[in-house]
Amino acid sequence: MENNGASAQVATGIAGLDDVLSGGLPSNHVYLLESDPGTGKTTLAMQFLMECVRAETERELRAVAASHGWDLSGVDILELPAGYTNPDDRYTVFHASEVELTDIR
């Protein structure tokens, strides 16, 4: 990605939004999502987190959290290699395309 003096960008994980934002959100900033209930704030936040987890290792995620003074006690981060399957594990892993979020009102 070309920088041209601007701060680096972080993909949101939402292709259309990243297109509108010319690649994503400027990095090293804090963003507040504010809107009426049911407008997709939680969905956007979860997609952003899923993109971050896809792009970052557990070590990187914990370092970022620590740099913000965030305590990740009680937050389990499970790193799975691409294509991971193990029928004996208690985890079910879905590809994002397999999960459909529906409107709940």
**CB atoms inside a 10 Å sphere around CB 12:** 21
Look up residue 66 and give its amino acid. A
Residue ranges of the domains in the chain?
9-98
Predicted TM-score of the model (pTM): 0.47
Question: How far apart, in whole angstroms, are the C-alpha atoms of residue 33 and residue 36?
Answer: 10
Whole-number percent of the chain with pLDDT over 70: 69
| CA-derived radius of gyration, the chain | 16
Burial class (CB in 10 A: 0-12, 13-18, 19+), 92: exposed
Tens digit of each residue's pLDDT (9 = 90 or more) over 83-97: 666 666 666 666 666
Question: How far apart, in whole angstroms, are the C-alpha atoms of residue 42 and residue 39?
Answer: 9
